[in-house]
């Protein structure tokens, strides 16, 4: 009996968390008047709304922009994170502890205080409306550094000594020796970084005004609250579906990694 209650609740939960997405997709295919209905089916399904979205906003371009920005950011976070994490974990240098505390300190600075001056910096450097402005502020992730450092501290010293005897420079040690062993942490940091960058919308709204440079969530946001969607729900839902699609596809292949990454980041943070 207990089991039945438990399963019912879980299924209810599943409906609550999943049905809205299915409804959203179905509604984007329905004609405008029918959108208010519960059913996922209609006799008048069409992709008209999607055609309209592609016609009205440069959404494919925005997708491309998001890919470029997120991939670059993720790559940069991983490279720099492992470099600095390695230095903090395995190398000895004056100021090492101070640097680590500095990194922890900067993790605590609320972005609300740095947001405006950071924008001003972009303006002064003349790089607003560029990919650089979107990538630069998140090129190095303090969380990433901490995670890499923690992982690297657990690598057996013997391995590193052996590589050094072979004459490897630090760079080679990091990228040729340690990395192959670091799959879990690299994947974790990569997923966290990619997701954060992909879904980021406040910063792009601030530094990018040029439509051809906007990221995917940014252009969907402006499409919804600007006049272009003309308060037509079908268009807005279609745009939202397009925005959700890439991440959902990635999620369906890599669920475990997504879940593990985000949960472990919380625990460590």
Partner 1 sequence: MKKYKTKYDWSAYLLVLPYIIFFLMFAAYPLVFSLVLVFHRWDIVTPMQWVGLKNFMRLINDPLFFKSIVNTLTFLFIHIPLQIVVALGFAMILNSKLKYRSVFRTIYFLPVVVSGVVVTILWQQLYSFDSGLLNRLLTVIGIPRIPWIVSPEMAMPSVAIMATWKNVGIYIIMFLVGLQNISAELYESSNIDGASRFQQFFSITLPLLNPTIVVVLVLSTIGGFSLFIEPYVLTGGGPMQSTLSAVLYIYNQAFYFSHMGYAATLGLVFAVVIFAVIMIQKKTVEMDSTV
Q: Which of residues 25-44 bind partner 1 (CB under 8 A)?
A: 27, 35-36, 38
Q: Which residues contact 248 (CB under 8 A, 6 or more apart)?
A: 21
Considering only residues 47-76, where is the footprint of partner 1 by CB under 8 A?
none
Considering only CA atoms, which of 180, 205, 187, 215 is closest in space to residue 66? 215
Which DSSP state fits 43? T
* Residue of 104, 123, 162, 176 interacting with partner 1 (CB under 8 A): 123
Considering only CA atoms, which of 75, 69, 77 is closest in space to residue 143? 77
3-state DSSP assignment of residue 91 = coil
Considering only residues 227-256, where is the footprint of partner 1 by CB under 8 A?
233, 236-237, 239-241, 243-244, 247-248, 251, 255
Q: How far apart are the C-alpha atoms of 78 and 86, rounded to whole Å?
A: 12
Q: In the complex, what is the shortest distance from the CB of residue 180 to partner 1, in angstroms, rounded to a whole number?
A: 19
Contact window for partner 1 (CB under 8 A) among 49-57, 67-75, 154-162, 220-228 = 220-228
Q: In the complex, what is the shortest distance from the CB of residue 36 to partner 1, in angstroms, rounded to a whole number?
A: 4
Determine, following the binding rule CB under 8 A, whether residue 86 of this chain makes contact with partner 1: yes
Question: Could you tell me where the beta strands, DSSP code E, fall in 4-109?
Answer: none
Considering only residues 161-200, where is the footprint of partner 1 by CB under 8 A?
169-170, 195, 198-199
Size of the site for partner 1 (CB under 8 A): 84
Determine, following the binding rule CB under 8 A, whether residue 77 of this chain makes contact with partner 1: no
Determine, following the binding rule CB under 8 A, whether residue 148 of this chain makes contact with partner 1: no
Helix (H), strand (E) at residue 3: helix 2-29
3-state DSSP assignment of residue 73 = helix
């Amino acid at each position: 009996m207990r089991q039945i209650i438990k399963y019912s609740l879980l299924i209810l939960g599943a409906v609550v968390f999943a049905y809205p997405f299915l409804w959203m997709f179905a509604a984007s295919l329905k004609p405008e008047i029918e959108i208010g209905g519960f059913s996922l089916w209609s006799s008048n399904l069409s992709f008209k709304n999607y055609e309209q979205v592609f016609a009205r906003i440069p959404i494919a371009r925005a997708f491309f922009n998001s890919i470029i920005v997120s991939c670059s950011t993720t790559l940069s976070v991983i490279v720099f994170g492992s470099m600095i994490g390695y230095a903090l974990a395995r190398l000895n240098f004056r100021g090492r502890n101070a640097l680590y505390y500095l990194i922890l300190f900067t993790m605590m600075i609320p972005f609300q205080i740095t947001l405006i001056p950071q924008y001003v910096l972009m303006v002064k450097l003349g790089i607003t409306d560029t990919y650089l402005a979107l990538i630069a502020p998140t090129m190095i992730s303090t969380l990433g550094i901490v995670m890499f450092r923690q992982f690297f501290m657990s690598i057996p010293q013997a391995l590193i000594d052996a590589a050094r005897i072979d004459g490897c420079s630090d760079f080679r040690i990091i990228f040729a020796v340690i990395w192959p062993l670091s799959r879990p942490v690299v994947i974790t940091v990569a997923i966290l970084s990619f997701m954060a960058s992909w879904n980021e919308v406040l910063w792009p709204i601030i530094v990018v005004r040029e439509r051809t440079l906007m990221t995917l969530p940014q252009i969907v946001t402006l499409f919804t609250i600007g006049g272009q969607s003309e308060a037509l729900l079908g268009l807005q839902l279609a745009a939202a579906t397009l925005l959700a699609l890439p991440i959902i596809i990635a999620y369906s292949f890599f669920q475990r990694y997504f879940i593990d990454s985000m949960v472990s980041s919380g625990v460590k943070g």
